[in-house]
Structure 1
Amino acid sequence: MDAARNDARAGASSNAGSALNQSIMQLLEHVDYRLITGGEDLEAIYRLRYQSYLQSGMCGPIASGMFEDRWDNLPNSYRFGVYFDGHLVSTLRLHYISREHPHSPSVDAYPEILAERLARGETFIDGTRFATDPDSAPAPGVLPFLTLRLGMVAASYFGLTAVLTPVKIEHSAYYARIFHAVQRTEGKVFPGVLAPIALFEIPCGENLRQTLERFPFFKSTAVEQRMMFANPAINRLTPLSIVPTAKYYRDAA
């Protein structure tokens, strides 16, 4: 993630930010997001998780060679694969959590932070099981941008209080610089992984608006948002391939 943090610093300055925006916009022409529920695509993202986590020390050996958990099949779960020119390069899982759907990894890990807020009617996207294949990256440091764009699309669709992102402390600078994420907890044992994890929160509202203005490749049309999130992923029988729509904002500018 060192390259990602370097790109984060570049994105924080106006001159480099323009170059970053242009670069990511061009790469999005080769990207599609797949909302995955089963079959070989699901096994592929579980294998990618495992390979990434084993290499980084996030998990130990697993005989199946796949990393899955009890939250994968919840009705508020959305599992995505990110494909570049048809090849799987990263994956991210999102849970939409609310008073009606209060279950996700972060709720279980940090009930003292989230339970009362959910009861008050606040809503969140919980982004977990982020994994990448650096050897397949089209350029150094770009996979976090291409992958975490999913959280920004979700935030635009659901109208949230915040996006939650449990991360290693050493990666916190990236989230603070790009998303103005706020650390809510100290590092602690997180379900399913070995490394200490802290909960960070990306406020929506005005902060989301500013993030989309700084990084327009995070923008999305209503059509893209509905394709990703209008129906729970668990109810789909086949993977749904979704093309990024940020370019339509660029072309209209």
Structure 2
Amino acid sequence: MNTRQMTLGGKAEGDEDRPDASSLASKVFSLLERVEYRRCDKGEDLEDIYRLRYKAYRWNDMVPDDARHIISDDLDLAPNVYRFGIYVDQRLLSTMRIHHVTADYPMSTSTKAFGDVVEPMLEQGKTFVCMSRFASDPEWTRVYPQLAYVTLRLAGMACFYFGASYGLSTVREDHAGFYRRIYYSEQIGEARPYPGVVNRVVLFRTNAYANEARYYARFPFFRSTPMERRLLFARPAAGELAPLTILPTAKYYREAA
């Protein structure tokens, strides 16, 4: 099986031979023109992202065979969860799960795996955006190696929308370097097992506000409008319908440059 796809915590295929920043940005902006984000809360959308997780994880030998061909857990039902599908030309190619972690709603992958590290920070009044279940269709990542960056936009936007103290990533040991490069993250938890996954995981933390200028200088496609962030993360009021899909807005900053 191919071991260079995006899986738990994610990684861009071919990151070892990544293009220069301007070439990468151009390719990501081009792909964003064909992308839609969808918050998946029920029905077939959820089933689709659960199946995509399984497909990607099995491709990477991260989980044992399962007759259901889905990956889901109790954290998918937490009140602070946001599950996203990323569609290219209306085809689901990638997915990410985000938890907004607070003292009142501490449920997340990072808390489950590294409670001894995360809970003391919650007691200090810190809040977090925890990204997890980052997976992409292994048959398409060679076609769109920029898909990782399109997906990673979600975590940064969540940090700014919620005003989170830190972004947390529970990732495979062998993907640690990627997170240091992309998010300027620091490792705050040593490798340990995670339920249902073969690989051991480590905990990374980044301060989105402290690194904001560096993010946008290196990855201008991470920019977004307040409207995009609100559509992605605001809970609909009673009687309101959530938007079916949300279009990326990074291009507006590019056009204004």
Same structural fold, with TM-score higher than 0.5 when normalized by the shorter chain: yes
Aligned match of 1:53: 57
The one-letter code matched in structure 1 to 2:166 is: A
The partner residue of 1:162 within 163, 166, 169 is 166
Return closer, same or farther for 1:138/1:223 CA change in 2, 3 Å cut-off: farther
Deviation, structure 1 residue 88: 0.5
Contact 1:38 1:237 in 2 (8 A): no
Instruction: Give the secondary structure class of the aligned counterpart of 2:197.
Output: coil
Return closer, same or farther for 1:236/1:79 CA change in 2, 3 Å cut-off: farther
Q: For residues 236 and 35 of structure 1, what CA distance do their matches in structure 2 show?
A: 15
4+ runs deviating over 3 angstroms: 5-11, 137-140, 235-239
Instruction: Give the secondary structure class of the aligned counterpart of 1:72.
Output: helix
Instruction: Give the secondary structure class of the aligned counterpart of 1:240.
Output: coil
1:94 lines up with 2:102 in the alignment: no
The partner residue of 2:205 within 192, 201, 206 is 201
Return closer, same or farther for 1:238/1:246 CA change in 2, 3 Å cut-off: closer
The partner residue of 1:4 within 2, 12, 17 is 12
Deviation, structure 1 residue 104: 1.1
Instruction: Give the secondary structure class of the aligned counterpart of 2:135.
Output: strand
Decide which structure has greater helix share.
1
Query: How do residues 1-253 of structure 1 correspond to structure 2 at under 5 angstroms?
Result: 1=4, 4=12, 6-7=14-15, 10=18, 16-137=20-141, 139-231=143-235, 240-253=244-257
Return closer, same or farther for 1:147/1:28 CA change in 2, 3 Å cut-off: same
Deviation, structure 1 residue 67: 0.7
The CA deviation string for residues 159-194 of structure 1, in whole angstroms up to 9 with x for no partner, is: 211111111111111111121111112221113322
Q: Percent identity?
A: 40
Instruction: Give the secondary structure class of the aligned counterpart of 1:51.
Output: helix
Return closer, same or farther for 1:43/1:62 CA change in 2, 3 Å cut-off: same
Q: For residues 239 and 196 of structure 1, what CA distance do their matches in structure 2 show?
A: 37
Structure 1's unaligned 5+ residue stretches are none
Q: For residues 243 and 158 of structure 1, what CA distance do their matches in structure 2 show?
A: 20
Q: For residues 58 and 138 of structure 1, what CA distance do their matches in structure 2 show?
A: 19
Q: For residues 232 and 12 of structure 2, what CA distance do their matches in structure 1 show?
A: 25
Deviation, structure 1 residue 136: 2.2
Return closer, same or farther for 1:43/1:8 CA change in 2, 3 Å cut-off: same
Length, aligned pairs only: 247
Deviation, structure 1 residue 240: 2.8
* TM-score, with length taken from structure 2: 0.89
The one-letter code matched in structure 1 to 2:24 is: L
Q: For residues 175 and 62 of structure 2, what CA distance do their matches in structure 1 show?
A: 14
- Higher RCO (Cα < 8 Å, 6 or more apart): 1
Aligned alpha-carbon RMSD (Å): 2.1
Structure 2's unaligned 5+ residue stretches are 6-10
Instruction: Give the secondary structure class of the aligned counterpart of 1:145.
Output: helix
